[in-house]
Amino acid sequence: MSLPRVVVDGPLAPNILRLLEGQVEIHLWPALDAGLEHVQGLYTYGHPRVDAELIARLPELRVISNFGVGVDHIDLAAATRRGIPVGNTPDILNGATADMAMALLLAAGRRLVEGDRYARGPTFVHYDPGYMLGREIHHSTLGIVGLGRIGTEVARRAVGFDMTILYHNRHRRPEIEAVLPVRYASLAELLAEADYIVLTVPLTPETRGLIGRAEFAQMKPTATLINVARGPVVDTEALTEALLRRRIYAAAVDVTDPEPLPRDHPLLRLENFTVTPHLGSATEQTRQRMAELSVANLMAGLRGEPLPCRVA
Ligand code: NAP
């Protein structure tokens, strides 16, 4: 019996390959055009875009499985119209991604990456109490834009740093307010009050460009922006301008627009800009759990069974 044909959007990590071995026939995107009509599964982690046109080219497609929680690269409506279930991997990566948000926040506030560079460099010859002063983290005000699964974990961590915590969502979350010291705020109020602004919203038409020139203008000059959501939630040009002109103190981001930034992008030359290459969920333990859940989603869809975790 032939194995179901699955297209994957790039080379797979060995742990994912082990889970798929002997169960499916794997084709790397861009797949052999000749075989596209027999593809039954699509396993994706962000590129290429799974749009209506691509879905239309796969008449036998039974399931789309995403390695990750963000599904902004998948046209969910087009999949739904065809009755194709889409799986993702929420919750199991909340802790790792929230840890990353805190790591970036701490790094930016205390100039960790810049300090590392200096400590390794030739100009560090003696300690000086006047250099590299950062901004306090404990007892400062944190603003979480997107208090969902990951945002709530960020809030839980911030409690340990004695931070005052504001949040902004489209809907207030009384059940979280009941267990965590978080206060609902309008976006304008949050931007004006927060020392650290953490973005944990999904990328949607509504959140694309959510933080642009007007929003930077509302922030304190001492504010730091942390983005662990998706690059296009922030207007890159406005961010560059805000950092270059010291309109805000710093930014630390795990995601950019475009991603990666062109190697000669001005942001990459700024000391008050810290960037990581989309490492939010990148721990051995979390990536293993994501591999297991995304493969379980894929295999369930191929068998015509309900997905363990279905987003659409
Ligand atoms: P979630 O549980 O759905 O939480 C998202 C939150 O954003 C919700 O509280 C939602 O509340 C709020 N929100 C949505 N649209 C909004 C808008 N227009 N204005 C204000 N708030 C809005 O999602 P999650 O699991 O925490 O994941 C969030 C995102 O993080 C993912 O979609 C993904 O893109 C990103 N992520 C990145 C990494 C990484 O490696 N850096 C890892 C994992 C996830 P309302 O509906 O009430 O507005």
Question: Which residue has a Cα nearest atom 4 of ligand 1?
Answer: 148
pTM, to two decimals: 0.97
Report d(CA 131, CA 224) in Å as an integer: 19
In one letter, which amino acid is 64?
A: I
pLDDT at 31: 65
Query: Which of the four pLDDT bands, split at 50, 70 and 90, describes residue 3?
Result: very high
Query: Which of the four pLDDT bands, split at 50, 70 and 90, describes residue 34?
Result: low
Query: Which of the four pLDDT bands, split at 50, 70 and 90, describes residue 46?
Result: confident
Domain boundaries, the chain: 5-90+285-302, 94-275
193, 165 Cβ separation under 8 angstroms: no
Q: Where are the beta strands (DSSP E) in the chain?
A: 5-8, 25-28, 39-44, 63-66, 86-87, 141-145, 164-168, 182-184, 196-199, 224-227, 250-253, 273-275
Identify the weakest region by mean pLDDT among 2-11, 248-257, 267-276.
2-11
Alpha carbon of 119 to ligand 1 centroid (Å) = 37
Report d(CA 142, CA 17) in Å as an integer: 40
Please confirm, yes or no, whether 60 is among the known catalytic residues: no
69-99 pLDDT per residue, tens: 999 999 999 999 999 999 999 999 999 999 9
CB-based contacts of 179, cutoff 8 Å, min separation 6: none
In one letter, which amino acid is 144?
A: I
Q: Which residue in the list 177, 241, 259, 292 is annotated as catalytic?
A: 259
Query: Which of the four pLDDT bands, split at 50, 70 and 90, describes residue 47?
Result: confident
Structure tokens at 143: 């603003």
Residue with tokens 């630390």: 252
Alpha carbon of 200 to ligand 1 centroid (Å) = 5
Question: Which residue has a Cα nearest atom 29 of ligand 1?
Answer: 202
Please confirm, yes or no, whether 25 is among the known catalytic residues: no
116-165 pLDDT per residue, tens: 999 999 999 999 999 999 999 999 999 999 999 999 999 999 999 999 99
**With left for phi above 0 and alpha for psi between -120 and 50, is residue 241 left, alpha or beta?**
alpha
294, 87 Cβ separation under 8 angstroms: yes
pLDDT at 155: 99
- The strand pairing partners of 273, in sequence order, are 251
Alpha carbon of 166 to ligand 1 centroid (Å) = 16
Read off the pLDDT of each residue in 170-194 and give the average, rounded to a whole number.
98
Atom nearest to 279 CA in ligand 1: 40
**In the structure, which protein residues have their CB atom closer than 6 angstroms to any atom of ligand 1?**
69-70, 90, 93, 97, 146-151, 168-171, 200-204, 206-207, 228-230, 254-255, 278, 280-281
Read off the pLDDT of each residue in 175-203 and give the average, rounded to a whole number.
98
pLDDT at 9: 87
275-310 pLDDT per residue, tens: 999 999 999 999 999 999 999 999 999 999 999 999
Alpha carbon of 58 to ligand 1 centroid (Å) = 30
Residues of the chain with pLDDT > 70, as a percent, come to 99
Whether the per-residue pLDDT at 1 is higher than 80: the answer is no
Atom nearest to 254 CA in ligand 1: 41
Query: Which of the four pLDDT bands, split at 50, 70 and 90, describes residue 10?
Result: confident
- The strand pairing partners of 66, in sequence order, are 44
309, 87 Cβ separation under 8 angstroms: yes
Whether the per-residue pLDDT at 60 is higher than 90: the answer is yes
Candidates 3.30.420.40, 1.20.1300.10, 3.40.50.720, 3.40.720.10; CATH matching 5-90+285-302: 3.40.50.720
Report d(CA 276, CA 60) in Å as an integer: 38
**Total residues found in the chain within this entry:** 312
Q: At the top level of CATH, which class does the domain 94-275 belong to?
A: alpha beta
79, 42 Cβ separation under 8 angstroms: no
Whether the per-residue pLDDT at 30 is higher than 80: the answer is no
Please confirm, yes or no, whether 278 is among the known catalytic residues: yes
Number of helical (H) and strand (E) elements in the chain, helices listed first:
11, 12
Atom nearest to 150 CA in ligand 1: 26
Report d(CA 139, CA 158) in Å as an integer: 10
Report d(CA 63, CA 56) in Å as an integer: 13
253, 261 Cβ separation under 8 angstroms: no
Q: Which residue in the list 5, 62, 168, 230 is annotated as catalytic?
A: 230
Mean pLDDT of the chain: 96
Question: Which residue has a Cα nearest atom 25 of ligand 1?
Answer: 149
Query: Which of the four pLDDT bands, split at 50, 70 and 90, describes residue 113?
Result: very high
Domain 5-90+285-302 shares a fold with domain 94-275? yes
